[in-house]
Amino acid sequence: EPEVTQTPSHQVTQMGQEVILRCVPISNHLYFYWYRQILGQKVEFLVSFYNNEISEKSEIFDDQFSVERPDGSNFTLKIRSTKLEDSAMYFCASSSRTAEQYFGPGTRLTVT
């Protein structure tokens, strides 16, 4: 069964550093998403991406965040200058022309 993969599984970084979280969506999917989940809290939508551009973004997705699909298979989330409050689990998801999203296993980001 096809699945969404994410790397790394755990990333530790110092405050102010840039991080790039990587995702490989399911190959025939058209829509891509990033979510985050702070420990013990709900899953929060960050951004959706379709046809090589951002479809929608939440208020969390400020200028420190960017997304890219550099090569037709990877989908990346960049945080330009990490803050302590960026520590969370980051989930990538993809979907075809249905509302059923397939989620990856997540990357745990720890900012120290």
Residues that bind another protein (CB under 8 A): 4, 30-31, 33, 35, 42-45, 48, 50, 55-56, 58, 89, 91, 93, 95, 97-106, 108
CA–CA distance, 85 with 32 (Å, rounded to integer): 24
Nearer to another protein by Cβ, of 69 and 108: the residue is 108
- Nearer Cβ to another protein (14/59): 59
Task: In angstroms, give the least distance from the CB of 19 to another protein.
Answer: 19
Q: How far is the CB of 66 from another protein (least distance, A)?
A: 17
Supply the minimum distance, in Å, between the C-beta of residue 55 and another protein: 6
Q: Whose Cβ is closer to another protein: residue 15's or residue 54's?
A: 54
Of residues 35 and 65, the one with the C-beta less far from another protein: 35
Handedness of CA 84, 9, 81, 14 (dihedral sign): positive
**Contacts (Cβ under 8 Å, ≥6 apart) of 63:** 80
| Residue 65 φ/ψ, nearest 5 degrees | -105, 145
Q: Can you spell out the DSSP letters for 45-104?
A: EEEEEETTEEEEE-TT--TTEEEE--SSS-EEEEESS--GGG-EEEEEEEESSSS--EE-
Q: Rounded to the nearest whole angstrom, what is the least distance from the CB of residue 16 to another protein in the complex?
A: 27
